[in-house]
Structure formats: structure tokens, C-alpha cells
Amino acid sequence: MAVAGTAALVVLGAGSLALGLVQRATDQVYTEAMVAPTGPSPLSSFLYPTNPVANSVSALTAPGLMKVGPNGLPVRGLAASFREEDGGARWAFTLPRSGRWSDGAALTTRDVGFTLAVLQTPGFSNSALSAPWVGVSLEASSYWSGVFVLPGPAPSFAATAELPILPQAPYHDRPLLYLRQGGRPTGSFAPSAGPFRVIANTADQVVLKRNSRYLPVPHLSGFVIQLEPSSAAVHTLLARGLVDGWLAETSKELSGLPAGLVRQKILTYAFVELLFNESSAPLGEVAVRQAVAASLDRSRVIANVLPGLGRPQYGPLPESISWAKLGPGSLAPLESPSRLLEAAGFQREGPLGHFARGGKPLTLRLSVPDVEPLPQVAADLAAQLEAAGIPVTVAVYPLASFVAGHLAKGDYQMALVGFDNGPSPDLAGLFGVGGDPGQSMDFSQAPADPILNHELDQLATANSPASRTAAYREVASRLQADMPAVFLYTPQVVYVHLPTAHTPGLSPVGDPDQLFQGVADWST
């Protein structure tokens, strides 16, 4: 369940709209299968950030000023240049004068300003997306050059600029019109600044065609996202060679695949963690939270439930961020669950050896959304805690009501949740700073901890890898001491495709929704 980088002083890369080598165009069409509700599908990742169809379409049609490079760091996307000034409090950029939307209109700073206005519109619902843009202004010196002025230094701002740039002309430069129309101009599809443009959005397909104004010229002539009701239906299409590839996210989806397919793992920027409600007794006691954490074996969950589709995680950043990796020995070890609970006045009682205090058993509730494989993970965690003398009741809720109905209202003791902050080291949004309830970890102790807040600032603004790693280890250490949550694992997904489908540059680390960023080079 997702609810939603760093930069050097000067970010270098190959601008997607810059003049370059024109590669050989073909008539080939790449078809990806996707298990999704029948269409017409949402197409705006701004307005539907958790919708896989919208995110895949955006990756092919709506680039940002910057994009994620092969090592997870930002490189130039639409921008011809992107430069840090004033210690990261200002970021200057230029656009290529040759840049065009697919309808022929020029790509200008008016489009960049419109995108910023949409993000800052009071009716914009995705606070996780808009939070880094609060207080940001744009000083445009021409149609092709401008400066973002930030409230304070943010050396990681280049990763923030990976958001898609929106065209202002179809919405008459009115952000509210964009929001009301769901990101789609009346009677047409929004023009594209990426390698493809949308030409159809039907009940079972989203069809994209080569954008002839994009340089370098895309190798493929088109791209089709084939919507299917189930993974079994996708398996059939793959066996018949009717689709080229599919992104599998669980071991259940991988079971029963036809033979001969190529499987490539992608370690995501998401992570799964066990969140504690510290206002719900007895979880207000740090000893109880630490005892729960000390009882859990991350490797067992990954082996038994996933299986193998994940890596153990010990801090609040995913294992896919290279400088943020923490092994089991990176932090001070916790005491055994028995010693922690006994020190807090709990004793084992009864034939099952469950912990109790003052005649009251230590029992806990675990809430989880009905999104595979989280219910299975919750069951495994409950079994581990039962063996440690802490019985747990698991309650599974529909995803639609889980966040608003339980997390946001604090109607839980423990909750199994997932987050995706991308490759950015800025954890302010995940710590509830400027975010909506239920879309952050809501660490209740963080606002009252000036040292932790200082380390979070250091983490977001550190310029060197060494200082960033040091700040991260301090953040992880302080979180373990207070234990507002147990960080469990970073999920992996698997892209399966026909052996005849060529996938150059498919990164083993990254955002699965950006799987096709390099699609201009793909062939089948």
C-alpha cells in the first residue's frame, strides 16, 4: 500500500528534449498487461497517485524537469540545465527552446508555473505530493529560464523536481479547471511532453502513440496497457504471446506463470512497517513496544510469506537507497522480550505462558488493509508474537476504509502499513510534518524531540554522502530507542516478459511505476 534523492551542487544528465542522435524508428508496439479495473482509466498521477495505470501512463507521457537516474539520483529530464544556488535555497533551470508539446505548443516556464499552481491549490488533495512545494515560488526571467525560490535550503530539491510538468494551455492556465476535469481536457487527451501521447482510453486498454515531436525519436511506434481482471488472465495472455510483459508484485501472482519467461527483480523505494498507537495502552510504554520489536524475525517473514520478494529493513528509509542500508548489527541490540517485559512488571502466567500484569493479560490488536501480501505478513507476525507470549488478534479491513476509517482516527493499536517516499532522504512528510493524518507515520514523539528534529533536518539537507549516512544512523538509533514503529522490509517486485522482448536499462532498483522511463530505447 503506497500513500504518498539527493543532488550534487550541479546536476548533470542527458535532457530528453535536447537535440541528440535520432535513432531508428520502427512500427513495433509494446504491450504490457496490468491487473486493474476496467476503464476508462484515470490518467493523471497527480490526482491518482496510487493508481498503477495513471502512474505508468505518466511515466510515458509526462516527464518532469528532472528524472530518476540509473543509480537513484536525479538527472535532467525536460530541463536543459538545473542548478543549485544560495546553498540550495534557490534552484535555477532552463528549458530547451526546441521543446514542444505533442500538439506543437512550446514548452515554457508558463507550464512550470501552472504545475506549481496546481500543487499549491487549496483543493489539491495529495498533501504528500504537494508538501515539498509549500512556500516555493517561481521567478521566471523568460519563457525558457526561471528560478525556484524555496523557504530554506534543500539540497535534495532536485529529486522533488521529478514530478510531471503539466500543460497550461488546455486548462486556460486555471488550476481549478485541471482539478475539476480530472486532469483531462474536455473531449480530448492532454498533450504530452514525453515519448508517447494517449490516443485511446477504453474499457480494456489505454493506447499510446509515438510523440513525433519528442527527441530522440522513440524506437517504438506505440505502447498498449492491456487491462485484465486477474493474474490468471494475464498468465493466459503471456502463454499465448499476446502481451510482452507484466509486473508481478506477490508470490501468488508469480505462481502458475507459463514456462520460458524472463524474470527480473526490482527492489522498490517502498517499505512496510508495523506502526504503534502510543495513545493506546499498553503501547504507551516503550518497554512493550521494544518487546514487540525484539520478538520479530524479519528474515522469517520474507522467507515464509513473500517469499524472497523483499529485504530486511531496520531504519525509516528503504534498503534500495544505497547510503541508507542498515544491517542487523548496525544499531544497538535490544534486550530480550522477556527481560523487557519483566522489567515493566509483566510475568508469564497460565499454561500457554502468556504475559500478564496485575491479572490483566497482555493482548494486542493488529489492523491491516486487505492488500496482498499484508494480511499474510500480519498472520506471520502474530504467530511470532504468540510464541513470545504476546497473543495478537488480526483484523483485516478494506483498503478503501483503512486509512480514513482507522489510521486517521487513531482507531488501532498496531497497524501494518506501507509507505513510499521515493529515493528522497526528506522524511518530514512521513513524520507527519505538513501531512494529512493516515498518510504519515504520525510519530507522536517526534515533534517533542528537538534532537530528532535536528537530525531529520540534517538528513534532508546534508550535501555529502558521509554526512547524510551519519545523520541517518542517528535518526535510526533515536527511533529504535523510542520505537514508534518496527521497520520490517523493503518489497521487491518482478517484471516478467517474453524472451523476445528487449528491456535495455531495466534497473534492479527503483519505482516500478517508472519501469518504462527508458521506453524510447525499447524494441521487441
pLDDT in tens, 64-108: 999 877 666 788 999 999 999 998 899 999 999 999 999 999 999
Beta bridge partners of 172: none
The pLDDT of residue 165 is above 80: yes
- Is there a common fold for 29-252+498-521 and 270-492? no
Site of grid cell 522480550: 337
* Whole-number Cα distances in Å, 312 to 295, 298, 316: 15, 6, 12
Residue 394 DSSP class: E
Cα distance between residue 96 and residue 193, in whole Å: 12
pLDDT band at 171 (very low <50, low <70, confident <90, very high): very high
First to last CA, the chain: 32
The continuous run of DSSP H or E covering 400 comes out as helix 399-402
Could you tell me whether strands 364-369 and 145-149 are parallel, antiparallel, or unpaired per DSSP bridges?
unpaired
Segment of 60-64, 268-272, 377-381, 496-500 carrying the highest mean pLDDT: 377-381
- Residue 150 and residue 135 in contact, taking contact as beta carbons nearer than 8 Å: yes
Report the chain's C-alpha Rg in angstroms: 24
pLDDT for position 404: 76
* 340, burial (CB in 10 Å: exposed 0-12, middle 13-18, buried 19+): buried
Cα 157 to Cα 87: distance, rounded to the nearest angstrom: 11
User: How far is it, in rounded angstroms, from Cα 333 to Cα 327?
Assistant: 12
Task: Tell me the pLDDT tens digit for each residue of 120-145.
Answer: 999 888 777 888 899 999 999 999 99
CA 253 vs. chain centroid, Å, equals 21
pLDDT of residue 374: 94
The residue among 85 and 321 whose pLDDT is bigger is 85
Domain boundaries, the chain: 29-252+498-521, 270-492
What global pTM score does this model have? 0.79
Range 270-492 has CATH code 3.40.50.960: no
| CATH no., domain 29-252+498-521 | 3.40.190.10
- Cis bond before residue 465 (omega within 30° of 0): no
Percentage of the chain exceeding pLDDT 70: 84
Per-residue pLDDT tens over the stretch 336-348: 999 999 999 999 9
Cell of 44: 493523471
Q: Give the cell for residue 434.
A: 505538513
List the beta strands (DSSP E) in 268-309: 270-276
User: Region 430-440: what's the mean pLDDT?
Assistant: 43
